[in-house]
A and B are shown apart, each in its own frame.
Chain A
């Protein structure tokens, strides 16, 4: 066991003495974070400005209660600092404003939305004793250049829809039961539905405080988020992949340099060498992300969230990323191949993982693929924590990353065992 850490610490020491590697590991993420912060216009060190005044276009074509309710949510006092809603009547104009980057998103509430939620007599099927009809969907037309703002708008709409869905299912269940038991007639169903909807609407109204992180659990007040707290982990995770693949490359570099064979002719087993290298990759990654987070907290005054949860997420994310580093090293034959594939992987994962674009605006297949990247789980987790989430909220992310790491490490070790660390 001791030798594992001797090998690992040697690797960490060498990594942090490599100026070129340090530029990629630490300097590049900072520069990109700053650059993207400036581009988005949200970078003001020391200011309290974060994600605020998000321009949202609201198009309410629904004459019912829920449409009005959703508009009210966007215009509520609780979200006044966060959102800058504009209500218009023409959906195409709303989409145009988004296309022109004058708005982060257009929330288009179609006609019949309320009716599709609240049960009515017209939708009652006498024979099946149930309500029919499909729910009319709200359209959120999003601006891919503003992924974070879009995420906030989606969070609000999703929360509202979740609540409305509860209302709908509750209403249908209640009225169906009343009809089935003969307490009301089908003719009375519409009236009953309207009364039910009004009552539930009042309940919704009382609890209007839909906050951008409501889905994360109980909160007391709205959370202000600095966009850099999204950008900084994006860039940290992007360049984490460089560190882990670079670490994987060191296995093949050491083989070429002769230091790996030299370790293997010392009283050291293959598993000790491989384990030491893997721990070295992991520690370098943890150190990199840790330094970036600590430094960005100091320099940009970012709030990363619950320190314990952040630490857990760092450990889990680096574990998943290290698995990829080991796998790349295992399948490649030369350090050059690792460098090429590592760079490609870093960029691909950066895109798929949401470091550059909003993954939710991409096709479902791409969204599914993004879940294969540590970037996606990690970024999702860091965003959750920055929005006020707790350790419980990122447990699934951490678990997914740990599973990812275990699977990839296992595959890498099997490949190394089959190929041999050196040509034998």
Chain B
């Protein structure tokens, strides 16, 4: 497989803040590559540089052999971009949006119309083509947003968190669309902070945190870094303090890591505690005892095989945040 995208020491600074700190990776043709990381980790900034929207502070990337800094127009011809936010004209219909964006990519006439028909079928909105986008649900808008990125049949598709804020059904539809596109030969760079999506879609995953690419490889390669461990997910009562339980659990022998996970927002306490251990069975009883000792009620408990969440926890000491 030839290399579709090659990223070399890409850096982006905004004043004193370093959003992306010298990351390097490549994507082979026909691959689905996921950049997995929490909000604010540098995923969108990376995609913005690769799509030629932002000028890198240093470093470079080539797309199909074209530098994003020196040959941006040629690089743009190859890529399709599905931005994180819905970038459509609400006052225009779905078809009018597709016509406009198709024209922006140089399509016109019958070729444009037939391609729009194909896209509308693909995103299952053919019957809503004449409706204004402002009348659509969030999921429908997301589908049109993706459709725009596919109009000119890009060889490399950038999808920046395309499932944020939509219902499970639309999310499923989008994930299936990504897999279908990949089967048709499209190379995909997919960013997400949902571990499950990265696991389901990706041939390879890059884990990004605070602008650094901290891990890169196939899922097997990454989980292997964690070793033979189990991840316990403890769901506790709404009135209980997870931090207290985390402190108590850390004192139990055999606990490699304990952390509150899925912190929704600063100051908002989530009632889930993640624990990494070589053997979940051995520490289960002490954990229950510690919870009882601090009058914390464990409502339910999951034991997971090593996964990307555990990898992130292992590498950063923090859980992937929502």
Q: Is the CB of B53 within 8 A of A424?
A: yes
> For chain B residues 30-60, which have a beta carbon within 8 Å of chain A?
48, 51-55
Q: Please tell me which one of the listed residues B76, B79, B86 contacts residue A258 in the complex, with CB atoms under 8 A apart.
A: B86
Stretch at the interface among B87-95, B181-189, B194-202, B245-253: B87-95
> For chain B residues 257-291, which have a beta carbon within 8 Å of chain A?
none
Asked whether A266 and B53 contact (CB < 8 A) given A14-B91, A261-B87, the answer is no
B81 on the interface (CB 8 Å rule)? yes
Q: Is the CB of B105 within 8 A of A265?
A: no
B100 on the interface (CB 8 Å rule)? yes
B165 proximity list for chain A (CB < 8 A)? none
Given contacts A267-B76, A268-B104, 13 further A-B contacts (CB under 8 A): A13-B96, A14-B89, A258-B86, A259-B87, A262-B101, A264-B52, A265-B53, A265-B79, A265-B81, A266-B105, A267-B106, A422-B53, A424-B54
Give min CB distance, A53 to chain B, whole Å. Answer: 49
A257 on the interface (CB 8 Å rule)? yes
> For chain A residues 361-413, which have a beta carbon within 8 Å of chain B?
none
A-B contacts, 29 of them at CB < 8 A, read A3-B103, A6-B100, A6-B104, A10-B92, A10-B100, A13-B91, A14-B89, A17-B91, A17-B92, A18-B91, A258-B86, A259-B87, A259-B89, A261-B48, A261-B53, A262-B87, A262-B101, A262-B148, A263-B104, A265-B51, A265-B52, A265-B76, A265-B81, A266-B101, A267-B76, A267-B106, A268-B104, A269-B73, A423-B14
Q: Is the CB of B76 within 8 A of A13?
A: no
The 0/1 profile, CB within 8 Å of A marked 1, for residues 67-87 of chain B is 000000100110101010111
Nearest 3 A-B pairs (CB), nearest first? A258-B87, A266-B104, A262-B87
Residues of A within 8 A of B (CB): 3, 6, 10, 13-14, 17-18, 257-259, 261-269, 422-424
A3 proximity list for chain B (CB < 8 A)? 103-104
Query: How far, in angstroms, from A51 to B121 measured CA to CA in the complex?
Result: 64
Query: How far, in angstroms, from A122 to B11 measured CA to CA in the complex?
Result: 89
B14 proximity list for chain A (CB < 8 A)? 423
A265 proximity list for chain B (CB < 8 A)? 51-53, 76, 79, 81
Counting chain B residues whose Cβ lies within 8 A of the other chain, the interface size class is: 20 to 34
Query: How far, in angstroms, from A269 to B76 measured CA to CA in the complex?
Result: 11
Q: Is the interface of A mostly helix, strand, loop or mixed?
A: helix
A6 proximity list for chain B (CB < 8 A)? 100, 103-104
Query: How far, in angstroms, from A262 to B84 measured CA to CA in the complex?
Result: 11
| Total cross-chain contacts (CB, 8 A) | 61
Asked whether A267 and B87 contact (CB < 8 A) given A6-B104, A422-B53, the answer is no
Query: How far, in angstroms, from A286 to B106 measured CA to CA in the complex?
Result: 28
Query: How far, in angstroms, from A258 to B101 measured CA to CA in the complex?
Result: 13
* Complex: chain A residue closest to B78, CB-CB: A267
B105 proximity list for chain A (CB < 8 A)? 266-267
A267 proximity list for chain B (CB < 8 A)? 73, 76-77, 104-106
Name which of B79, B81, B96, B103 has the most chain A CB atoms within 10 A of its CB.
B103
* Complex: chain B residue closest to A16, CB-CB: B91
Query: How far, in angstroms, from A265 to B100 measured CA to CA in the complex?
Result: 14
Query: How far, in angstroms, from A10 to B76 measured CA to CA in the complex?
Result: 22
Give min CB distance, B84 to chain A, whole Å. Answer: 8
B51 proximity list for chain A (CB < 8 A)? 265
Query: How far, in angstroms, from A258 to B85 measured CA to CA in the complex?
Result: 7
Name which of A263, A267, A269 has the most chain B CB atoms within 10 A of its CB.
A267
B77 proximity list for chain A (CB < 8 A)? 267
Query: How far, in angstroms, from A423 to B89 measured CA to CA in the complex?
Result: 21
Q: Is the CB of A14 within 8 A of B92?
A: yes
Query: How far, in angstroms, from A268 to B53 measured CA to CA in the complex?
Result: 11
A263 proximity list for chain B (CB < 8 A)? 104
Query: How far, in angstroms, from A269 to B104 measured CA to CA in the complex?
Result: 11
Q: Is the CB of A424 within 8 A of B87?
A: no
* Complex: chain B residue closest to A11, CB-CB: B89
* Complex: chain A residue closest to B85, CB-CB: A258
Q: Is the CB of A424 within 8 A of B55?
A: yes
Query: How far, in angstroms, from A8 to B83 measured CA to CA in the complex?
Result: 23
Give min CB distance, B106 to chain A, whole Å. Answer: 7
A18 proximity list for chain B (CB < 8 A)? 91
A257 proximity list for chain B (CB < 8 A)? 85, 87
Query: How far, in angstroms, from A144 to B177 measured CA to CA in the complex?
Result: 69
* Complex: chain B residue closest to A14, CB-CB: B91
B103 proximity list for chain A (CB < 8 A)? 3, 6
Query: How far, in angstroms, from A14 to B92 measured CA to CA in the complex?
Result: 7
Asked whether A261 and B83 contact (CB < 8 A) given A10-B89, A14-B92, the answer is yes
Query: How far, in angstroms, from A236 to B88 measured CA to CA in the complex?
Result: 31
Query: How far, in angstroms, from A13 to B104 measured CA to CA in the complex?
Result: 16
Asked whether A13 and B87 contact (CB < 8 A) given A263-B104, A265-B53, A266-B104, the answer is no
Name which of A258, A263, A265 has the most chain B CB atoms within 10 A of its CB.
A265
Query: How far, in angstroms, from A263 to B103 measured CA to CA in the complex?
Result: 11
Give min CB distance, A2 to chain B, whole Å. Answer: 8
B92 proximity list for chain A (CB < 8 A)? 10, 13-14, 17
Give min CB distance, A1 to chain B, whole Å. Answer: 13
Query: How far, in angstroms, from A257 to B85 measured CA to CA in the complex?
Result: 8
Query: How far, in angstroms, from A423 to B12 measured CA to CA in the complex?
Result: 12
Give min CB distance, B133 to chain A, whole Å. Answer: 11
Query: How far, in angstroms, from A269 to B48 measured CA to CA in the complex?
Result: 16
Give min CB distance, B47 to chain A, whole Å. Answer: 9
Query: How far, in angstroms, from A18 to B89 measured CA to CA in the complex?
Result: 12
